[in-house]
A and B are shown apart, each in its own frame.
Chain A
Amino acid sequence: MSSEVFTILGSLDWSDIGLATLETLAMVGGSLLFTVILGLPLGVILFLTGPRQPLAHAQIYAVLSLLVNLLRSTPFVILLIVLIPFTVALIGTSIGVPGAIPPLVIGATPFFARLVENVLREVDRGIIEASQAMGATLPQIVFGALLPETFPGLLAAVTVTAITLVSYAAMSGVIGGGGLGDLAIRFGYQRFQTDVMVITVAVLLLLVQVLQVFGDRLVLRFSHK
């Protein structure tokens, strides 16, 4: 039995798997960066324009909320396909690691923004009130009170988003994105190489596990509760 497993594993092209893992990491890392850059302000604006918040504005909130829900309710596989023309127009290709990043960012940003909104809503209203009473401007409240106060929660939201992006990145293999998903589909699915499939899933699992543990550590490091 053990020699059988060894034989199967021995026949694998480990350099392909290594490359695919690096590609996946690049897709997750790149898209996570842009997701945070776009999603954090979107989440803050969602929060601030929400009911009874400092910039409460029913119309703006409704439009943003609808947009976020629209993108979140579209299955990511569909989003991948629908966005192909947009991705080509934006960066000239829709395949490989670069081609996967725009749909990943567009798929994950609304998700992350909603998480950010929820994290901010957890802040005691008294903290905003106290800041207002001190004569803080809105940017001072956001950067001086809200974001520092919610930093651990935001780190947790980034962790959850990174993990979602791992699975999204694997899915992008369907339309020719690189990485582990691509490997699983081309070898594991189309060529019936079960061993590749198993290893891919194992690497993905390991990746998710590492991200979660690392994220939890960071959250704990910055919590002062």
Chain B
Amino acid sequence: MIDIEHVSKHYVVDGIAVPALSDVSLRVEQGEVFGIIGVSGAGKSTLVRTLNLLERPDSGRVLVDGSDITLFSKTQLRSYRRKTGMIFQHFNLIGAKTVAENVRFPLKLTGEYTTAEIEQRVDELLELVELSGHRDKYPAQLSGGQKQRVGIARALANRPKLLLCDEATSALDPQTTQSILHLLLDINRRFGLTIVLITHEMDVIRAVCDRVAVLDQGVLVEQGRVAEVLLHPQHALTRALVQESCPQGESAKISARLNLPGPLLRLTFLGAITHQPVLQRIAAAFALGFNIIEGVIGHIKETPYGQITVQVIGAVPDLARLEAAFGEHSVRCELVQP
């Protein structure tokens, strides 16, 4: 379990102090995938780097399993870092070393393993990331996705309890991004590994994270379970980020253009109910029609969800009764426009 408590950090640029993190506090539970999202320059990279002290906070504490890592001696910090994997946007592999040599590097650093143990572990890791056939290739001969797989194998070499991902998929195409995200999820489940990732893409958060924190100019503006934050964003930045990944909010304009009477309702489905014919049931019960204006149906991690805006067609009954009927199906109903 990780507790970041009141962490602040500033940089000096041309003699002027620029705040990078301002009094950030958050908790990451054991075994969860925790996402930190923000636009570039928000301080995400700095924040994730405070978790292995590549960036040292000016003030505040970083507690990992109860001990404040900012107080660690050099030796303690090194052994902590050996148990904390990290992967990077640009992979940061050693170009002069083969795939196997890159993965071997962190294992040799510890001085704890025999050559045979190291070789066995390298084989295991390459198998895990599906690169067994590429062990003697150099990074320059690999695709971006393969390079990141080497990065992941290297990060997992010393069986870390925590994996930090710094924009790990930002340099990859969408398909490769998906395969890397699946690999991360798989690792998270199989080894109970805690993952903290930073990204500027809400799609990444939606695909793998359990909880998310939104960072805006060094300030934590929102955090919570991904479904909650994604479906009911509170902060303007969060809404903008959600909007970017699945554009919504044009309903009023669309209905004006269609020139249809009837109120607009936003319906939010989460879980198995997403795949039930709720609209049809309610339409039948109230003798109404629903015109779907816009919406999205997908998955948050593995949980199905949907959020659609519908226009009620027909003799509109008491809206409260309609809301209650949706509520019975655990579908959240909000009035967007009467």
A residues apposed to B, CB below 8 Å: 124, 126-127, 129-137, 140, 144-145, 148-152, 222, 224-225
Query: B79 and A135: CB pair below 8 A?
Result: yes
CB distance from A104 to the nearest CB of B (A): 30
Q: Which of A126, A132, A134, A145 has the most CB of B within 10 A?
A: A134
Query: A145 and B94: CB pair below 8 A?
Result: yes
Chain B residue numbers with a CB within 8 Å of A148 are 94, 96-97
Query: B140 and A225: CB pair below 8 A?
Result: yes
A129-B81 CB under 8 A given contacts A134-B105, A144-B109:
no
Q: Mark B116-149, 1 if CB is under 8 A from A, else 0.
A: 0000000000000000000000111000000000
Write 16 A-B pairs (CB below 8 A) sorted by A numbering. A126-B90, A129-B88, A130-B86, A132-B54, A133-B81, A133-B84, A133-B86, A134-B81, A135-B77, A136-B78, A137-B78, A144-B108, A145-B94, A145-B105, A222-B96, A224-B138
CB distance from A137 to the nearest CB of B (A): 7
List CB contacts (< 8 Å) of B15-70 with chain A: 52, 54
Query: B92 and A134: CB pair below 8 A?
Result: no
Query: A224 and B86: CB pair below 8 A?
Result: no
Chain B residue numbers with a CB within 8 Å of A130 are 86, 88, 92-93
In the complex, A30→B106 CA distance in Å? 37
Chain A residue numbers with a CB within 8 Å of B92 are 124, 126-127, 129-130
Number of interface residues of B (CB under 8 A): 30
Nearest first, the 3 closest Cβ-Cβ pairs linking A and B are A135-B81, A126-B92, A135-B82
Chain A residue numbers with a CB within 8 Å of B96 are 148-152, 222, 224
Q: Which of B82, B88, B94 has the most CB of A within 10 A?
A: B94
B327 within 8 A of A: no
Query: B54 and A135: CB pair below 8 A?
Result: no
Supply 19 further A-B pairs (C-beta < 8 A) apart from A124-B90, A135-B106, A148-B96.
A127-B93, A130-B86, A132-B54, A133-B52, A133-B86, A133-B164, A134-B81, A134-B82, A134-B106, A135-B77, A135-B109, A140-B109, A145-B94, A149-B96, A152-B96, A222-B96, A224-B96, A224-B138, A224-B140
CB distance from A45 to the nearest CB of B (A): 20
In the complex, A100→B68 CA distance in Å? 59
CB distance from B270 to the nearest CB of A (A): 37
Chain B residue numbers with a CB within 8 Å of A224 are 95-96, 138-140
Please pick, from B90, B109, B138, B139, the residue contacting A134 in the complex, using a CB distance under 8 A. B109
Closest to A128 in B: B92
Closest to A222 in B: B96
